[in-house]
């Protein structure tokens, strides 16, 4: 079994220098040597904010930094040629590229239209709070800078279900367009969570769906990407994705990877969504993220023995992408729920050094976040390396038997033992039956060693720490490999 590890290769506050694709070109070899094999890149197409757009204010999905639109040719991350070169370089270093796909909305329209719409309650999206009236909305996308290259499809109000601004009255309000209805097969948050922002794409319009299929095939064939991170799937008709993903996979020799962002801490809601989309994608394990967040803020009041309960990682392991933090949870963002720094090693050990099918590491933890004053997580490279070279995820023995000291062993020729505490120091005993080693070293403090007696050892962990033990020879191998 291959131990996949995904790196989210961006955070919200990257420099607006059009230089990120160049950074990936420079770092690809190093990332592969550490042990990553999948790289999730930010949205690569032109956003309404031009150079300042992180990528989620989608304007033109055919403009990968090629056309003079929104005041710039490159995106925040670079030009089309640099993007393609970054993907090529990643592939040369055996790294798969996962593309961030934002379908739900469009922003930065080129022109306005006068139509009829009714105002909708933000708190209950099924409740109209006005009769239909004439409004002026920014819904015409003609992409004058691209001049029809790649696609002559233009967007107008009929391609959308609603928006949030009436230019006639210059007021922000939620508008549902004439003879339109929010999609029903979406999250029921606020009654109906179809609408998020901008011009809400109408997935019941056959012309729109046909164009999204056409764009997807163009994008896949042009870039050679290896999979998808699908944004805000809770707000898109669930019936769209199985067909679209099947079409993307039809001409691919491999089964293109796909993971959806369904932002909910409710495990039953996530499991129901997996059924709705016929298990055509994995989902980020948001419940686990919130468990890690709660544990990091509760210290010794948190029951560590239950930290995996009620998570996708435990209940639907083949459909879970476990993560600690991401660009939305980092400080200063709308979904801020940052896992406290003291608990980061604990959290990453839980997702990287167990049986998760494809855990995701956040760029802010890999490289730091200067704006937030965050430095890179200690021992993160070592954990990724151990996952790639030593871990045998089908040979795990758990000791989740104490509220404040838990651990597990990974058996095999290259054993791994993890013990963590959220209070006083503690220890766990394990017998490493297949191991021929005599001494295990804690990678977080190499002066802490355990001598085995016929495979049996007592593995210590200090107050509020996470200790990760590997055998002495593997420790030397790791140190040599990571002298990058």
Determine whether 231 is an active site residue.
yes
Burial of 430-457, coded b for 16+ CB within 10 Å and e otherwise, reads: bebeebebeebbbbbeeebebebeebeb
CA 26 from chain center: how many Å?
Answer: 22
Judged on CB neighbours under 10 Å (0-12, 13-18, 19+), 377 is: buried
Determine whether 261 is an active site residue.
yes
Residue matched to tokens 């640099």: 82
Query: Pick from 2, 210, 21, 144: which is nearest to 10 by CA?
Result: 21
C-alpha distances in angstroms, 422 versus 297, 442, 465?
11, 18, 7
What value does the CA radius of gyration of the chain take, rounded to a whole number of Å? Answer: 24
Task: Dig out the tokens for 182 from the structure.
Answer: 């929010």
Q: How many CB atoms lie within 10 A of CB 23?
A: 18
Task: Dig out the tokens for 20 from the structure.
Answer: 């990120």
Please identify which of the residues 119, 231, 237, 474 carries the catalytic annotation. Answer: 231
DSSP 92-135: HTT-EEEEEE--SEE-S-SEEEEEEEEEB-SS-TT-B-S--EEE
Please identify which of the residues 11, 261, 365, 474 carries the catalytic annotation. Answer: 261
Contact 288, 295 (CB under 8 A): no
Rounded CA-CA distance 336/326 in Å is 9
Query: Pick from 434, 340, 322: which is nearest to 8 by CA?
Result: 322
Helices 344-352 & 380-389, crossing angle to 10 degrees? 10
The catalytic residue positions are 231, 261
């Amino acid at each position: 079994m291959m131990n996949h590890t995904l790196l989210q290769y961006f955070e919200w506050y990257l420099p607006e220098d059009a230089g990120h694709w160049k950074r990936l070109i420079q770092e690809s070899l190093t990332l592969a040597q550490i042990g990553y094999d999948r790289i999730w890149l930010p949205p690569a197409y032109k956003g309404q904010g031009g150079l300042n757009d992180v990528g989620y204010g989608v304007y033109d999905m055919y403009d990968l930094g090629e056309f003079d639109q929104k005041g710039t040719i490159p995106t925040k991350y670079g030009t089309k040629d640099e993007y393609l070169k970054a993907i090529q370089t990643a592939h040369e270093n055996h790294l798969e590229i996962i593309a961030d796909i934002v379908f739900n909305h469009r922003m930065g329209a080129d022109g306005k239209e006068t139509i009829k719409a009714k105002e909708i309650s933000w708190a209950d999206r099924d409740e109209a709070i006005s009769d239909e009236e004439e409004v002026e909305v920014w819904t015409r996308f003609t992409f004058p800078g691209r001049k029809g290259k790649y696609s002559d499809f233009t967007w107008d109000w009929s391609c959308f279900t609603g928006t949030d601004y009436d230019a006639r009255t210059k007021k922000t309000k939620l508008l549902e367009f004439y003879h339109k209805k929010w999609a029903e097969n979406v999250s029921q948050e606020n009654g109906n969570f179809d609408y998020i922002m901008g011009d809400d794409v109408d997935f019941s319009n056959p012309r729109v769906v046909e164009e999204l299929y056409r764009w997807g095939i163009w994008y896949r064939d042009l870039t050679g990407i290896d999979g998808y991170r699908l944004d805000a799937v809770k707000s898109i008709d669930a019936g769209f994705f199985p067909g679209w993903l099947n079409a993307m996979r039809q001409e691919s020799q491999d089964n293109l990877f796909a993971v959806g962002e369904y932002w909910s801490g409710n495990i039953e809601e996530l499991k129901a969504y997996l059924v709705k989309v016929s298990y055509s994608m994995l989902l980020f394990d948001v419940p686990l993220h919130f468990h890690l967040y709660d544990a990091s803020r509760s210290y010794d009041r948190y029951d560590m023995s239950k930290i995996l309960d009620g998570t996708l990682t435990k209940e639907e392991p083949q459909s879970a992408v476990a993560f600690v933090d991401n660009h939305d949870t980092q400080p200063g963002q709308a979904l801020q729920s940052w896992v406290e720094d003291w608990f980061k090693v604990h959290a990453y050990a839980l997702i990287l050094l167990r049986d998760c099918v494809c855990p995701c590491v956040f760029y802010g933890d890999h490289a730091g976040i200067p704006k937030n004053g965050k430095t890179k997580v200690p021992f993160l490279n070592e954990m990724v390396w151990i996952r790639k070279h030593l871990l045998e995820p089908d040979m795990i023995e758990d000791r989740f038997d104490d509220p404040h000291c838990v651990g597990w062993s990974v058996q095999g020729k290259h054993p791994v033992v993890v013990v963590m505490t959220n209070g006083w120091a503690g220890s766990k005993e394990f017998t490493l039956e297949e191991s021929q080693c005599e001494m295990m070293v804690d990678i977080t403090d190499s002066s802490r060693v355990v001598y085995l007696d016929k495979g049996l050892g007592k593995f210590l962990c200090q107050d509020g720490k996470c200790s990760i033990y590997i055998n002495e020879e593997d420790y030397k191998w790791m140190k040599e490999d990571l002298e990058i």
